[in-house]
Amino acid sequence: MRLTLLLIVMVLNYSVNAEKNNYGLSEEKVNQSEINWLLDRQNIQEFRGGTTDGLDPDIDLNTSDYFQKLQSATNKKDKDRIAILAMAGDHKANFEFTEIFGSNPNYKLDNPYKSWGTETIIVIQNSENFISLQHILVMFMKDENGKINGPYIQKHWRQDWSYEDRKILEFQGENVWNVKKYKNVKNTWSQAVYQVDDSPRYESYGAWIHEEGASRWISKMTNRPLPRREHSVRNDYDLLKGVNKISILPWGWVMEENNDKIKTPKKYLGTEYGVARYQKIKDYNFSSAFEYWEATKNYWQIVRDSWNKILLSKNRFCLKKTYENSPLFMFHFIQAEKYKETKDLISAKRDVNSTINNFIDYSCSIE
């Protein structure tokens, strides 16, 4: 399955493909006071992101079964659950993030980020008040001679949805995480997003709104750390304050982000707009994703259980970026491969608990 190669190619770039152009554009940041248009900068500024050519899938324009169920359901909570489940399935995912303005009048706007990948989204838990969706990337890539190589598989991010969730995990800056308690959560759902290694990414909550053309969920503003696409190239800010909107549509779904860039504790730098578009696709071979998940799902269940125990028992902790010069995801992916071969649950539990404990500090504080 060539997992090691895929990690090198994909993990650090979120996915694997970005459009290229021949405009002779600037590879540098541009001064916001010296340009006319903030959103559309394709004629003056190059994009950044992945550069590998993936195999374009066939877009499925038919209305999804879940969306048809949404139109016929009458109970509000049932419609909420159907909308969440509608995100499952096979998709082409396009990611775009663009800085749109800054506080300084001469703020230099970073190059827009664009990438895409093909991924299947699996329902791994489904109960009345909780739904968990696991994203898995599968890419077939074209080399310079047009030869198709692959599949390359990557366990991607996960999203957990909880009904009337009173505890929201929120990033505080400087690697500190706090569990905050809320009271006014009636009829709302929280969305908790996790990294490829199942460590926390961000969490917020909001209510679903259902209309004839779409079902939409809009989050409250919450803090989150820098994503991989940013922390490897930016050191002038260390926290995002973000609002997410998810729209469930007949042909797929879209997640929009409006993120304020903050230098802790309270210095505002600028704002970016992001959109992740998940288009339904057909006749794409995701069998390798299901084979990988079947072979490793028990390992990743142990990882989730370990994190659940921490989040239920601790209201504050620090999550270290590295241990012995390696990030958390490297330990977990190596251990997941080991579990595929041995199927040793006892050894896996020992490895998972030891690994996560090496990355957590319960005595940390923000200075």
pLDDT-based confidence at residue 364 (cuts at 50, 70, 90): confident
- Share the mean pLDDT of the chain: 91
Read off the pLDDT of each residue in 174-184 and give the average, rounded to a whole number: 93
Helix ranges (DSSP H) in the chain: 3-10, 65-72, 76-85, 228-231, 287-313, 328-342, 345-359
Q: Which of 303, 294, 299, 292 is nearest to 345 (CA)?
A: 299
Please state the separation of Cα 294 from the chain's center in Å: 22
What is the spatial distance between Cα 293 and Cα 1, in angstroms, rounded to a whole number? 12
Lowest mean pLDDT, pick from 32-41, 80-89, 207-216, 247-256? 32-41
Is the pLDDT score of 20 beyond 70?
no
Read off the pLDDT of each residue in 309-326 and give the average, rounded to a whole number: 94
pLDDT-based confidence at residue 203 (cuts at 50, 70, 90): very high
Read off the pLDDT of each residue in 16-30 and give the average, rounded to a whole number: 54
**Structure confidence at residue 281 (pLDDT):** 97
Query: What pLDDT digit, counting tens, does each position of 58-89 carry?
Result: 999 999 999 999 999 999 999 999 999 999 99
Lowest mean pLDDT, pick from 13-22, 57-66, 127-136, 193-202? 13-22
Query: What pLDDT digit, counting tens, does each position of 338-353 carry?
Result: 999 999 999 999 999 9
**Structure confidence at residue 15 (pLDDT):** 44
Q: How far is CA 216 from CA 74, 87, 247, in A?
A: 16, 12, 4
Pick 361 or 42 by higher pLDDT: 361
Is the pLDDT score of 179 beyond 50?
yes
Crossing angle (nearest 10°) for helices 345-359 and 287-313: 60
Read off the pLDDT of each residue in 13-39 and give the average, rounded to a whole number: 64
Helix/strand/coil for 68:
helix
**Structure confidence at residue 367 (pLDDT):** 54
Is the pLDDT score of 361 beyond 60?
yes
**Structure confidence at residue 232 (pLDDT):** 80
Phi-psi region of 44 (alpha: psi -120 to 50; beta: other; left: phi over 0): alpha
Is the pLDDT score of 9 beyond 50?
no
**Structure confidence at residue 22 (pLDDT):** 35
Query: What pLDDT digit, counting tens, does each position of 136-171 carry?
Result: 999 998 888 888 899 999 999 999 999 999 999 999
**Structure confidence at residue 43 (pLDDT):** 85
**Structure confidence at residue 163 (pLDDT):** 98
What is the spatial distance between Cα 99 and Cα 109, in angstroms, rounded to a whole number? 6
Q: How far is CA 19 from CA 3, 99, 112, 154, in A?
A: 24, 18, 11, 21
**Structure confidence at residue 366 (pLDDT):** 60
**Structure confidence at residue 233 (pLDDT):** 87
Share of the chain above pLDDT 70, in %: 91
**66: phi then psi, degrees, rounded to nearest 5:** -65, -40
**Structure confidence at residue 36 (pLDDT):** 86
Query: Which two three-digit tokens encode residue 73?
Result: 């359901």
Q: If residue 144 lies in a helix (H) or strand (E), which one and from where to where?
A: none
Read off the pLDDT of each residue in 130-139 and give the average, rounded to a whole number: 97
Please state the separation of Cα 155 from the chain's center in Å: 11
